[in-house]
Amino acid sequence: MSDLEEEYQLEYFHEEGFERKECPSCGAHFWTRDPDRELCGEPPCADYEFIDNPGFEAEFSLEEMREAFLSFFEEHGHERIDPYPVAANRWRDDVLLTQASIYDFQPLVTSGETPPPANPLTVSQPCIRMQDIDNVGKTGRHTMAFEMMAHHAFNAREDIENPDQYAYEGEVYWKSETVAYCDELLDSLGADIEAVTYIEDPWVGGGNAGPAIEVIYRGLELATLVFMCMEQDPDGEYELKDGNTYSFMDTYIVDTGYGLERWTWMSQGTATVYEAIYPEMISFLKDNAGLEYTDEEAELVHRAARLSGQLDIDDVDDVEAARGDIAAALEVPTDRLRELVEPLETIYAIADHCRTLAYMLGDGIVPSNVSTGYLARMVLRRTKRLADRVGVDAPLDELVDMQAERLEYRNRDTIRDIVRTEVEKYRETLERGGRQVERLADEYADRGEPIPLEEVLELYDSRGIQPDTVEEIAAEHGVNVEIPDDFYARVAARHSDDDDAGETAETAPDEAAVADLPETEKLYYDEPERTDFEAVVLDVIERDDGDGETVYDVVLDQTMFYPEGGGQPADTGSISGEDVTVEVTDVQEADGTVLHRTDGDPGKGEFVRGTVDGTRRRRLMQHHTATHIIGHAAREVLGEHVRQAGAQKGTESSRLDIRHYERISREEVKRIERLANGIVTDNLTVKQEWPDRREAEDEHGFDLYQGGIPPGEKLRLIHVGEDVQACAGTHVLRTGDIGTIKLLSNERIQDGVERLVFAAGDAAIEATQRTEDALYDAAGTLDVSPQEVPGTVERFFEEWKDRGKRIEELKEQLASVRAQGEGGGEEIDLAGTTAVIQRVDADMDELRATANALVEEGNAAVLGSGLDGATFVVAVPDGVEINAGAVVSDLAERVGGGGGGPPDFAQGGGPDADALEDALEAAPDVLRRLSEA
């Protein structure tokens, strides 16, 4: 079976007297010490044998098991490292959440570009897998949140051309040692190692592959030992189970995964994993929901849990089908079983979801409508629904806090605050949505029709209302609604209608062209305030800028020009040779080579003098340092969770996007501004250093990487007061050099992401002056002092509204006077009614009022105005057979326009005011013609 059969012939297996066997049930190959064993031992080929029969000598709590594992590997030469955040998108853009310990080291460590934090190392990495969210609680073993305990070793082949091209060299240990460690760990915990099986199960994922071994004990998969050593390669000689071909890489990595929860469960032998890992929370929730079982019921539930854990279940449909099987095995009706077990399953799910939330929020994820924040919001809402359904009335923030406390998060107050805010938002959404559904249900109830599916889809898509909520409310109103099984697929279909055209590719510098060029020496870090330098032109690459203009990319041996990066725009300036000076309009970096985009060719091999635009550079440095200061100040004011979500520096203003769960108030803006300027006036030295990556991470932790993780063995750190960040930009030497920092505005660019726009130095003064100019202009117009502007404007606004009302009143009075005055208008008799035809040069409002007044008197009205073009209003009293719309339409055509309206009141007009008199003269004929028709 195994395509990598020879890869599993481990020394350790042979020394220890293992035998390789083929499972007659599933066909898998496995290694065992027990010569009599036939089956591989993994369900469905075997049952759980540890429930009520723990597999280790002692019982372990979650914390004890984690410690036992980590210290075992520490004692065996591994360094213990701190876990990474569960928000994997903080260091990689291909995934959102951390789903395995190896995620911590992808892509830069696994590719060999960056050294691991330790080698070999051990870690217990919190992970979140949302794939089988629906199964949590039901199967007894699925959890959304878990910790993957692991030991990793990063090896690189030495028999290659440049072994030092990788950030680690040589072999730490490989397959045989890995299995030996696992075996020894099991043995040290008192497991019956005769009963352990090692199943061959090649692993493929994310473009990499390698042999792997599943470790099975008493029916439970306790660990997976992956030997990542291959990469996808069209010419590779190994075809693996995904149908692709693979070949061996220069690096080969031990990637193991030991499920902390499963090991804890194994040590306790409880009916479900949940009861082993957070027993207090389960019993709290049971109490709170008032869940009570008789001894007989408890026994039944226990037996059911035991059975359900053994079933090979992959999705919810299977769970429901399996429930029938279990009920049959227990000889009780399916409904009775469901009634007993479902509340308990819900409680398991709540506990797990709260732990998930504790990890997410504790690691600084802020609920949002995008990215990981959205996932957190989904989990939170789902948890709230589950809690409501099963009757748990403890506040959700308290439940999450129970888990956060266990996980020893320090930011528990913030976590609770976020949960409370989110629950409140959800409550509002539900309330809004509920009302909407009520209206809809009423509407369709009146018509006696079922609510169409399209409406339900719309409710879910744009208002977040679950289809079962619609069903519930519809039932209360006696309206039918059909929710198809493929509801969510239909939602997805709505979204896949329009496939957007591919983005135009960025015009990245030609990597191939610079591949042979040496790295440019960067002078701007040593003397960020110097603007001129001397250099040798190493190469000039001629290109077309896309508009038909010829431009040049100039490569120098050294440069003072800062290439665009880290949200800081490129420097501009000029490069002068003996007889030519060229303008530098853009600077980019590719593979360590700095490319100066110029409008001329300075000549390859020439000695040149470069001059950077000093004012621009100075402004950019001020803004860059200010960005760090504002980020720090925002964290002080708003909380530890505040993290950079993006930044862009400029010469006039800059912006910093930060994660925060509420709108930032004016008061908070002021405090941030005060704090930031305090740091400026303290005139602190801005320090840069290039420490070893591992030392920097040890000392400052993961928050160094506000703007992403740079590759390499060394990091450039920028210290501004207490704030430390990995940063490649240019900074002022002392904070006092910034001069001043002014926050200009803040906007919410996404839910959970606030954008702070600010200016530093001269730009701050200019921005303040602009604001003041606007205020002074307004004050000048009002002829009051700036301080009086708000009060005066408010008074004027009120007066303006009052006058509007007064004018309305007067127009109506004028209209009724005009209607009774019987002057000026031509009156004609029309089938017993008097029609008044009159020119009133007034606006549309007044025409309407006059027409209304005439109708009040029992007359038909045809009014024309020449005030703005030509406009007409025609109104007729009830019971008069004239179509006002038709009359207006006819008259309006005579002035080059159109018009219409209901039969009793119509308006219209056209641009040709000169034709107004003629039109009014024709009006009697028009009226007679149309009244006769």
> Given the rule CB under 7 A, which residues bind RNA?
369-371, 374, 377-378, 381, 425-426, 428-429, 432, 435-436, 439, 458, 460-464, 488, 491-492, 494-495, 498, 500, 663, 747-748, 751, 797, 801, 805, 848, 852, 869, 871, 875, 892, 897-902, 904-911
269 closest CA partner among 55, 416, 498, 15: 55
**Nearest CB to RNA, comparing residues 34 and 443:** 443
Asked whether 247 and 237 are in contact (CB, 8 A), the reply is: yes
User: Distance between CA 369 and CA 887 in Å, rounded?
Assistant: 54
- Least distance to RNA, CB of residue 901, Å: 3
Rounded CA separation 249/230 (Å)? 5
Cα→Cα distances 524→246, 617, 716, Å: 44, 10, 13
How far apart, in whole angstroms, are the C-alpha atoms of residue 295 and residue 283? 16
- Give Dmax (Cα) for the chain: 121
The least distance separating RNA from the CB of residue 462, rounded to whole angstroms, comes to 3
Distance separating the N- and C-terminal Cα atoms of the chain: 93
- Beta-carbon contacts of 159 under 8 Å, excluding residues fewer than 6 positions away, are none
Q: Is 731 within any annotated ligand binding site?
A: yes
Written as six digits, the tokens of 547 are 């508009």
727 is in an annotated binding site: yes
Q: Of the two residues 157 and 425, which places its CB atom closer to RNA in the complex?
A: 425
Question: Is 458 or 698 the residue whose CB approaches RNA more closely?
Answer: 458
The neighbouring-strand residues paired with 689 are 717
DSSP letter, residue 856: H
898-900 and 121-128 strand pairing: unpaired
Q: Which is nearer to RNA, 335 or 428 (CB)?
A: 428
Q: Which is nearer to RNA, 747 or 914 (CB)?
A: 747
H or E segment to which residue 158 belongs: none
* Alpha-carbon radius of gyration of the chain: 38
Q: Which is nearer to RNA, 251 or 871 (CB)?
A: 871
407 vs 400: CA distance, rounded Å? 11
CB of 794 to RNA, least distance (A): 11
| Count of all residues that appear for the chain in the document | 933
Please report how close the Cβ of residue 665 comes to RNA at its closest, in angstroms.
11
> What single DSSP character describes residue 678?
H
Are 29 and 200 in contact by the 8 Å Cβ rule? The answer is yes
Q: What are phi and psi of 235, to 5 degrees?
A: -95, 5
Q: Which is nearer to RNA, 565 or 614 (CB)?
A: 565
Residues pairing with 541 in the sheet: 553
Identity of the residue, 21 or 377, whose beta carbon is nearer to RNA in the bound complex: 377
CB 735 within 8 Å of CB 682: yes
Which residue, 27 or 911, is less far from RNA as judged by CB?
Answer: 911
SS3 label, residue 454: helix
User: Can you tell me the distance from the alpha carbon of 894 to that of 913, in angstroms, rounded to the nearest whole number?
Assistant: 10
Q: How far apart are CA 366 and CA 409, in angstroms?
A: 15
Which amino acid is residue 152, in one-letter code?
H
- Nearer of residues 116 and 909 to RNA, judged by Cβ: 909
Judged by CB, which is closer to RNA: 385, or 716?
A: 385
Assess whether the previous peptide bond of 202 is cis (omega < 30° from 0): no
Q: How far is the CB of 492 from RNA (least distance, A)?
A: 6
CA atoms within a 13 Å half-sphere pointing along the CA-CB vector of 227? 20
Which residue, 369 or 769, has its beta carbon nearer to RNA? 369
User: CB under 8 Å, gap of 24 or more: what pairs does 797-802 form?
Assistant: none
What is the three-class DSSP state of 470?
helix
| Residues 592, 522: Cα–Cα separation, whole Å | 9
Instruction: Work out how close the CB of 516 gets to RNA at its nearest, in angstroms, rounded to a whole number.
Output: 35
Which residue has 């399209």 as its token pair?
454
CB of 751 vs RNA, minimal distance in Å: 5
By beta-carbon proximity to RNA, the closer residue of 294 and 800 is 800
Structure tokens at 407: 């996980």
3-class DSSP assignment, residue 922: helix
Is 14 marked as a binding-site residue?
A: no
- Which of 198/872 has CB closer to RNA? 872
Report how far residue 361's alpha carbon sits from residue 365's, in angstroms, rounded to the nearest whole number.
Answer: 5
| Helix, strand, or coil (residue 873) | strand
Element (H, E) at 268: helix 260-268
Shortest Cβ 909–RNA spacing (Å): 3
Burial profile 730-750: b = 16 or more Cβ within 10 angstroms, e = fewer: bbbeebebbbbbbbbebeeeb
Backbone angle region of 562, left / alpha / beta, with phi > 0 → left and psi within -120 to 50 → alpha: beta
Which runs of consecutive H residues, i.e. helices, occur in 709-835? 762-782, 789-821
Q: Which residues are annotated as a binding site?
A: 624, 628, 727, 731
Q: Which residues are annotated as a binding site for Zn(2+)?
A: 624, 628, 727, 731
